[in-house]
Chains A and B, each alone.
Chain A
Amino acid sequence: MTMREVDLLNCRRLPRAAVLAACLFAVTPSLASAQELTDAEKAISNVVTLGEAADAPTEWLGPTPHFVMVGEFGDYTFAINIKDPAKTENFKLEGKREYRKGEKGLDYIDFEIAVDLITNGIERGLEIEFENANFAAHPVPSTFALQDKEFPAGLFSNMELQVEWEWVEKSFIVNDEKLYSDGQLTVALEDAKPEADGTAPNGMIGGFVTGTMDGKKIAISFTAPVTEAEIDD
């Protein structure tokens, strides 16, 4: 775990008076010593490249399933350009919708894009999750400003980006997640056929998102098959 992870995952959630003390201890060397990599090893672990080189997307790349993610997130650099997920080895792309019981039936409060991929011999998982008070209340397409509140109403969404992998040979584990509050999400495609319970574990979700954190930018275009839906009780 990097010091930045400790800081951002934890310190902002602490009571104000405890923040300083906690973070002072959080930077003790012992916390990071078990997971030190050389610069050459960091290049293997922290640079995630898959597919042909491409510029960062500037808009949604259309309804054909794809996943393009270019930019930086924390200590990690991404250059993923998958135009045909079904035919790409070592790559899996799935979407999930989540609902909550509202006053007038189910509110569509969350969707998630999950990616499993293998690069440099390391199995990696990425999850990009968005929340709104009810995405179904907005026409498609709609553009949402990113903010870090839970289930924001109106044309706002939060985005949590999580990256996870372990480099087995080095016993090195990455487990980092952050909430973006600077950026935009455009939901460009919602192809869904509600089932009897009102959920839609089917169809497609497509969109385009840009986010900035600590001066580092990430841009993602996606169209993903939805395979799962859940009602959050």
Chain B
Amino acid sequence: MTRRIPHVGLLAGLLLSAAVLPAVAQEMPTATVTAVLESAPVDRDPDDPAIWINPADPAKSRVIGTDKDYGLVVFDLDGNIVQRLPDGRLNNVDVRQDVALDGGTVTLVAASRRDDNTIALYTVDKDGVLAHAAPFTFPGSPVEIRYDIYGIGLYRNPASGETSVIANFKTGDIVQWVVGGTPEKLELTLARQFKVETQPEGVVADDALGLLYVGEEDGGVWRYQADPKAPADGVQVDLVGSRCLPADDVEGLGIYASGETSGYLVVSAQGMNRFVLYPRQPDAEGRQTCIGSFHIGTGATDPVGETDGIEVVSSGLGEKFPRGLMVVQDDRNEGFTRNFKYVSWADVEAALKLPTN
């Protein structure tokens, strides 16, 4: 179930805002940020990144990117390729550390595999090296959905360590599976299935707040309770056509958690070549009103166009990324190549004058 903002009410509200507070509509902070560095080009077609944080040495963390006609490509924080996994048409990817299982914990990477509409799972060792989990793939849905598996995300309950995989399909179907079993033999148990009206892709869980966000490419951004046992009542955070998301597609989503409840939901707005920020914590009425946006311009790298998948973490990852790292796919790069750009979150904070406490 999803709850759309009534269009007539929306219209009236927006018109009222435009009439009474025209400055508000024009003052959404918009900034230009430059990337610190860029990854090596990806051979085919990169889409979505995830970030594995090395707890022993954050500067040796890894960026895991999909090359959606090839598999996964793993980069270090200088953008060098350190591992290639030719595992098929992997579209999106996510990672969670300290996933509780019978007999221990693992770091888990999940990717949506379009070859056979499966969820591909990997484990990550202490040095950031990925290996196929056992089993490697699971059906993405309990009953075959013919139109491609697409986005994927992981949610880890911080209290229990229980983790679930959320996969979505081009049909709009969203399927959440709880991860169980042992580190040697994983199991996925169907938890719930729901739907958005049109094609989704981006999905991200705010673990600490227990919220799950889904991006409907032509529709907007939806918020759900992340608990796999919770009813799937969706609340529309924003819709394509609003002042914050004037153009489709909604693509990747990320959570920058600066405190228990503070920080941002970051939305990749492809048609604007821009990233839009919303507060993590909904207000008393459940609203999350956008607070600014930025695009990545020319600096140490070329600009970022046709933005797609993103990931962002707030942990300091060495001198280059002292207040966190945002990684974004870049669809157009020198020599007609594609890659990932690495952005220091400190630069985003400075450009948008965000509080840093």
Partner among B27, B147, B241 whose Cβ is within 8 Å of the Cβ of A14: B241
The distance from the CB of A34 to the nearest CB of chain B, in whole angstroms, is: 6
Interface pairs (12), CB distance under 8 Å: A6-B247, A9-B247, A16-B7, A21-B14, A21-B15, A22-B242, A24-B15, A24-B18, A29-B26, A168-B302, A169-B298, A175-B273
The tally of CB-CB contacts under 8 A between chains A and B is: 124
State A22–B241 Cα separation when bound (angstroms). 5
One digit per residue, 1 when the CB lies within 8 angstroms of any chain A CB and 0 when it does not, for chain B 107-124 equals 000000010010000000
Within 8 Å of chain B (Cβ to Cβ): is A26? Answer: yes
Cβ-defined contact, B32 with A21, below 8 A: no
Within 8 Å of chain B (Cβ to Cβ): is A104? Answer: no
State A71–B334 Cα separation when bound (angstroms). 27
Instruction: Return chain B residues, CB-CB under 8 Å to A13.
Output: 218, 240-241, 248
Known contacts A31-B272, A164-B332; is-contact A25 B14 (Cβ 8 Å) = yes
Instruction: Return chain A residues, CB-CB under 8 Å to B297.
Output: 34, 171
Q: Closest A residue to B218 by CB, please name it.
A: A13
Within 8 Å of chain A (Cβ to Cβ): is B126? Answer: no
State A33–B30 Cα separation when bound (angstroms). 9
Per the 8 Å Cβ criterion, residues 13-67 of A in contact with B are 13-26, 28-31, 33-34
Per the 8 Å Cβ criterion, residues 130-177 of A in contact with B are 164-166, 168-173, 175
Interface of B is mostly: loop
Instruction: Return chain B residues, CB-CB under 8 Å to A171.
Output: 32, 297-298, 303
Range, interface on chain B: 35 or more
State A10–B27 Cα separation when bound (angstroms). 21
Instruction: Return chain A residues, CB-CB under 8 Å to B272.
Output: 1, 31
- Residues of chain A at the chain B interface (Cβ within 8 Å): 1, 5-6, 9-11, 13-26, 28-31, 33-34, 92, 116, 123, 125, 164-166, 168-173, 175, 233
Within 8 Å of chain A (Cβ to Cβ): is B185? Answer: no
Q: Closest B residue to A117 by CB, please name it.
A: B336
Within 8 Å of chain A (Cβ to Cβ): is B158? Answer: no
The distance from the CB of B304 to the nearest CB of chain A, in whole angstroms, is: 8
Instruction: Return chain B residues, CB-CB under 8 Å to A34.
Output: 30, 32, 295, 297
Within 8 Å of chain A (Cβ to Cβ): is B354? Answer: no
Cβ-defined contact, B247 with A17, below 8 A: no
The distance from the CB of B90 to the nearest CB of chain A, in whole angstroms, is: 15
The distance from the CB of B169 to the nearest CB of chain A, in whole angstroms, is: 11
| Central interface residue in B10, B18, B248, B303, by most chain A CB within 10 Å | B303
